[in-house]
């Protein structure tokens, strides 16, 4: 029951995050979605993955998002979020997606296979990641650095324009 309740809350908070015009509110809803995902990982028997999800996504990535939102200082406009001409294609593709998903789930009965339990310590996981995927980790860190520098330059650009206009 907790699994389905948490899944529903994740879907609802993610839907709220993508439909908000005020960016800070969207980031807060996304934070709730990340915490719910971490709870699901814990319920599925992956406490290390749940902890990593909270540390990496709900911690570092959300702080970066908030920093970017505050540096850019966008104001919410009162225009309609999704015009009516976008609802029909979204509804059609959503229905197709749901039909394909239902067909995949319902057309393969009797294929339940018990997966073997894989257990590893956090040390083994860290050794595997940093020995085999060190280049990917470095590329991601460089991308985050570029995003941070871009947000700072965007934030500074607005401040300079205001002081020049006032002078």
Same domain as 127, residue 68:
no
Which residue range(s) make up the domain with 137?
121-167
The number of distinct structural domains making up the chain is 2
Give a yes or no: residue 85 inside a domain: no
Q: Are residues 7 and 68 in the same domain?
A: yes
Cα distance from N-terminal residue to C-terminal residue, the chain = 62
Share of the chain above pLDDT 70, in %: 83
Q: Is residue 103 part of a domain?
A: no
- Select the highest-mean-pLDDT range: 30-44, 57-71, 98-112, 145-159: 30-44
Q: How much is the pLDDT for 142?
A: 92
Is residue 2 included in any domain, yes or no? yes
Choosing from 76, 105, 129, the residue where a domain stops is 76
Same-domain pairing of 68 and 11 = yes
Which CATH number covers residue 37? 1.20.120.1200
Higher pLDDT, 86 or 138: 138
- Domain assignment present for 112: no
Is the residue at 101 inside a domain?
A: no
From the list 115, 114, 96, 94, the residue with the least C-alpha distance to 104 is 96
Whether residue 115 is contained in a domain is answered as no
Q: What is the mean pLDDT of the chain?
A: 80
pLDDT tens by residue, 8-31: 999 999 988 888 877 888 888 888
Instruction: Note the pLDDT of residue 89.
Output: 79
Domain match, 129 and 72 both: no
Same domain, residue pair 72 and 138: no
pLDDT tens digits, residue range 89-141?
778 888 898 898 788 777 776 666 776 777 777 788 888 888 998 898 899 88
What is d(CA 82, CA 162) in angstroms, rounded to the nearest whole number? 31
């Amino acid at each position: 029951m907790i699994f389905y309740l948490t899944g529903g809350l994740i879907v609802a908070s993610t839907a709220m995050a993508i439909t908000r015009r005020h960016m800070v509110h969207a980031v807060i809803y996304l934070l709730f979605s990340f915490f719910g995902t971490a709870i699901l990982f814990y319920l599925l028997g992956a406490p290390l993955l749940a902890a990593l999800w909270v540390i990496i996504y709900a911690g570092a990535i959300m702080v970066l998002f908030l920093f970017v939102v505050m540096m850019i200082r966008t104001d919410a406009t009162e225009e309609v979020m999704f015009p009516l001409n976008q609802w029909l294609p979204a509804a059609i593709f959503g229905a197709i997606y749901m039909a394909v998903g239902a067909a995949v789930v319902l057309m393969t009965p009797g294929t339940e296979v018990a997966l073997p339990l894989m257990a590893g310590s956090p040390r083994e996981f860290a050794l595997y990641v940093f020995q085999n995927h060190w280049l990917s980790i470095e590329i991601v860190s460089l991308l985050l650095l570029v995003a941070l520098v871009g947000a700072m330059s965007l934030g500074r650009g607005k401040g300079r324009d205001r002081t020049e206009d006032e002078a």
